[in-house]
Amino acid sequence: MSSVVLLSRDRLLLQQLQQAFARSAPQVRALLADDPQAAHAPLAACWFPPPGSLQALPALQLVHSVAAGIDHLEHDPSCPPLPVCRVVDPGHRQGMTEYVRWAVIHYHRGFDRVLRQQVERCWERPQQLPAQQFKVGVMGLGSLGGAIAQDLALGGYQVRGWARSTKQVPQVRCFAGPQALDSFLEGLDLLVNLLPLTAETRGILGHATFARLAPGAALVNCGRGGHLCIDDLQQALASGQLRGAVLDVFEEEPLPADQRLWSLPGVVITPHMASAASHDCIALQVAENLRRLEAGEPLLNLADRTLGY
């Protein structure tokens, strides 16, 4: 029987993935790192693998992310120069669109203020603005970002989009390249980040970006934790340049209990739930790539490690 090794710091995820393999891909044994048979496994399925865990697998031929991104593999510096695949869930776009739509409405309609008022037992109706007067910017116009930008535009919002290369999205004013970033950001009421994490985009959510937004703007980060400078976020919230932030991704996951983000006023933490492949989808795609690896067939959803996605 073929086998894969599951590597993650998230013990609950490991348990859920083992159950998913047993349910949806019973032809594959899903092993944990401490299993003696793990040394013979040709594939490791990973989510924030512990440091040194990949190097400890001598038979490894393929590293498989259990998500759409691969940057979390950097948390194990021993990751060998092997092919890397990722999971692509057909339902990923729908889930992400719903999450971002909720976050935009949360700030547009003033629910953040209402929730604070409830604690104080204060009855004060927030000002209601037409969607067309609420300016939303989407950073990253790939298959997810483009769909989200268009969904928000169809909802009546004034939407801008920014990407590294030129994109066209119906009803969205699009900007491209570093030279257009400031113009894209200028005066936005809410910024959504869906960029891939690369050397160029790491730390992009920092002081220079926040300063270009409208005073009292909001941030929604569904990209990667490495995009955000936490010190700059804290300062922007304290000064009122930002009124709040919805954060779904973090440099370390699960987010440690002593991480200050948990208690920063104005920050909403969600546990990487904006959109994620189902456990059964992960098991099926990893099992198919294991079959292809062993048969010498082309792999599905092969990532470009030099680009980071």
Alpha-carbon distance values, 285 to 20, 57, 291 (Å): 12, 21, 10
Q: Are 266 and 245 in contact (CB under 8 A)?
A: yes
**How far is 188 from 180, CA to CA, in rounded Å?**
14
Q: What radius of gyration do the chain's Cα atoms show?
A: 21
**Hey, what are 81's tokens?**
């120069």
What residues contact 262, with CB distance under 8 A and at least 6 apart?
A: 255, 269
Distance CA 99, CA 247 (A): 11
Q: 159 forms bridges with which residues in the sheet?
A: 136
The question of whether 113 is a catalytic residue gets the answer no
Q: In whole angstroms, what is the distance from residue 224 CA to residue 102 CA?
A: 19
**Catalytic hit among 106, 108, 212, 224:** 224
* Measured distance CA(297)–CA(309) in Å, rounded: 21
CB atoms within 10 A of CB 157: 25
Helices within the chain (DSSP H only)? 11-24, 92-108, 111-120, 143-154, 181-185, 207-212, 230-239, 279-295
Among residues 64, 75, 160, 272, the one annotated as catalytic is 272
* C-alpha–C-alpha distance, residues 84 and 300, integer Å: 10
Q: Which of 22, 25, 41, 28 is nearest to 1 (CA)?
A: 28
For residues 141 and 149, what is the distance between their CA atoms, to the nearest angstrom? 8
- The amino acid at 114: V
Q: With contact defined as beta carbons under 8 Å apart, do 82 and 64 qualify?
A: no
Q: Catalytic annotation on 93?
A: no
Which residues have a catalytic role annotated? 224, 272
